[in-house]
């Protein structure tokens, strides 16, 4: 579905952002693209969409090269930026313009998202808040039904009810033929949606695994409830919580859950140790 081979990209001559980077992602997954600021997550999304062109290497998206920027390829990709910029028109005009570009556009999804987000046709995009504009563009992103949906910090600018609505709409309308990549620092907002993790550190991919695969290797719990040495610990409102290796043949633990936030912090803080157990 997505294949990146020996990708090189830099903003400044002699200062590479990506050097011989490789990545493969299967179809039909919702991937969380995680990393600290400056790792190149937004750049990655722009390269996949064709908004930026690689210096060298190959990118294949939907069995096509996005750098060609062909009309047919662009109709199959939707990129939701962190900060949206909309024309100064009414919401209905904007939605109709966008719908005409995407052959898979679904008016029923649009109508439901408009209702859930409490938007109306007569709103003027130039006079509503960034959060309201973001909800309009999210509506288009979901209604477009593109095979590849790229989202850069989708919950930024949204209030708490809108974040809940966003998760509900994503769970309701994404289908198994769509591949989604979400770049985010707000992992708690999206933890229930993500089924795969691509984690970047020092501008390299240090993890590319499904949540299921990771959950077979790692367990997260309060430290006083698990015997054994944790790979990583941190203080929380409920006490010390930790990241542990799951013992072979083990089944369940009390309070068993997979914490994306703990996993991210553990990998970044102690990569030499944790990285030995992770595929990338």
pLDDT at 214: 94
CA distance 264 to 220: 12
User: Which segments of 100-146 does DSSP mark as H helices, in order?
Assistant: 107-116, 130-144
Please name the residues in contact with 7: beta carbons below 8 A apart, sequence gap of 6 or more. 18, 20, 21, 22, 23, 47, 54, 56, 57, 58, 59
Strand order in the sheet with 196-201: 77-80, 148-152, 179-183, 30-35, 196-201, 204-210
Q: Does residue 98 fall inside a structural domain?
A: yes
- Considering the domain architecture, whether residues 130 and 65 belong to the same structural domain is answered as yes
- Considering the domain architecture, whether residues 125 and 160 belong to the same structural domain is answered as yes
Give the structural domain span for 269: 211-277
Going 105 to 111 to 116 to 122, the CA torsion angle's sign is positive
Domain final residue pick, 159, 194, 229: 194
Q: Assign residue 8 the CATH number of its domain.
A: 3.40.50.300
pLDDT at 275 over 90: no
Bridge-based pairing of strands 15-25 and 30-35 is: unpaired
Residue 127 is given by DSSP the state G
CA distance 220 to 231: 10
Overall average pLDDT of the 249-265 stretch: 72
Domain final residue pick, 194, 225, 247: 194
Q: Does residue 202 fall inside a structural domain?
A: no
Q: How far is CA 204 from CA 34, 121, 133, 221, in A?
A: 11, 44, 33, 28
Count of domains in the chain?
2
pLDDT digits (tens, 9 = 90+) for 131-163: 999 999 999 999 999 999 999 999 999 999 999
pLDDT digits (tens, 9 = 90+) for 76-103: 999 999 999 999 999 999 999 999 999 9
CA distance 32 to 50: 20
More confident: 93 or 239: 93
- Considering the domain architecture, whether residues 138 and 178 belong to the same structural domain is answered as yes
- Considering the domain architecture, whether residues 79 and 217 belong to the same structural domain is answered as no
pLDDT at 93: 97
- To the question of pTM greater than 0.85 for the whole model, the response is yes
CA distance 119 to 180: 24
């Amino acid at each position: 579905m997505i294949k990146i081979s020996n990708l090189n990209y830099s903003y400044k001559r002699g200062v590479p952002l990506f050097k011989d980077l490789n990545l493969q992602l299967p179809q039909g997954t919702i991937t969380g693209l995680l990393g600290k600021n400056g790792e190149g997550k937004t750049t990655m999304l722009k390269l996949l969409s064709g908004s930026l062109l690689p210096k060298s290497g190959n990118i294949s998206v939907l069995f096509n090269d996005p750098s060609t920027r062909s009309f047919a390829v662009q109709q199959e990709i939707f990129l939701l930026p962190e900060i949206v910029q909309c024309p100064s028109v009414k919401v209905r005009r904007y939605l109709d313009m966008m719908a005409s570009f995407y052959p898979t556009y679904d008016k029923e999804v649009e109508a439901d998202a408009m209702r859930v987000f409490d938007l109306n046709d007569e709103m003027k995009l130039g006079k509503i808040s960034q959060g309201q504009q973001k909800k309009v563009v999210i509506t288009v992103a979901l209604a477009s039904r593109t095979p590849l949906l790229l989202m850069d910090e989708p919950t930024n600018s949204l209030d708490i009810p809108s974040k809940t609505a966003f998760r509900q709409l994503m769970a309701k309308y994404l289908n198994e033929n769509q591949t989604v990549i979400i770049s985010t620092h707000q992992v708690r907002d999206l933890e229930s949606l993500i089924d795969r993790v691509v984690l970047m550190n020092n501008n390299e991919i240090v993890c590319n695994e499904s949540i299921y695969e990771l959950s077979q290797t790692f367990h997260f719990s309060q430290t006083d409830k698990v015997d054994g040495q944790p790979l990583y610990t941190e203080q929380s409102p409920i006490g010390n919580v930790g990241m542990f290796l799951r013992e072979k043949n083990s089944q369940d633990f009390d309070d068993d859950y997979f914490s994306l936030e703990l996993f991210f912090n553990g990998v970044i803080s102690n990569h030499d140790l944790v990285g030995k157990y992770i595929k990338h």
